[in-house]
Chains A and B, each alone.
Chain A
């Protein structure tokens, strides 16, 4: 258990009548990768903005490196690298000017690293930002974010709308940040296979509340996907204990369920069926199952 880098405690924030965050707590320790997942508008970007001081905490507290990002923006932002979908880079700046400008604000800037990254990405230093494509802008923003070797890297849906090459560059940057001297990464993404590969811990946010949080392997182990075969033919999905989502039809069904495997086996046997095979669910299956269940709950209510 290392030093705590980010400490969010009971954070709530609403915009007008909408509750964007509802008593959210989140802790990040040094050297780990944290993945944030959730539906659009669930509150991931809002949470990340609080870490950067872009939003004030209405109730609760936010501490990054032990400092309040609103009270002490320089102390926090000088040690943080930030990349988001709408980075708003000044259109008139050239790439090399952007590098020099960012360098002035971060004394830990590594010029050779920056040069190496620019060469790897193949970015033309004399081009203006407005002449770059979306992918190249993301790459330029990435260099500006990681070249000063930040202690905390915050990525808000960095891969959205980008091609595979740029996505690979971003993932590599995450790896390098963590592998070199154990720095911390927090990123939110819709691409669940990315989150699954790259996260040590995963946090799922739904409607402003944290619905799942823990080490990725533990979370996955808490959910199983089983293939079930029944003697009878079922038109509607059979009611099974702790089942979250069911696929299939007739006699063969594929079920995502939480909780103990034994209990599930019992309930299957009780309905005259058997579990053919069982494995840990993937993050995408968990996410879809929970989202589907929540939608069902809303409809019932």
Chain B
């Protein structure tokens, strides 16, 4: 493959990602990503509670540096204890965790295994 073709591929991939970039991260999730169900929601209540606690632990370690210990937000990151997150589809939150929002400064958390990301989603959906 010529260098021109490789460069064209990169440009095309970047261009595909640009149009949705101005929307808030939760609204950028594709429909198929939004429709993904949280696997912990189908589990017995005891396991759901354990996922919530594990999600809290992971949130404190991975997210609270920017979003605050109580998910109240900070000068540089939005509050996650909010109706917007509460009402968002679990799949949309999971999608944002996977992809991040590089332009607004949120990194991707794809390095966390999927079950850990779903545990964080469980915690965020249960936040009061």
Q: Do A and B come from one complex?
A: no
B-binding residues in A (CB < 8 A): none
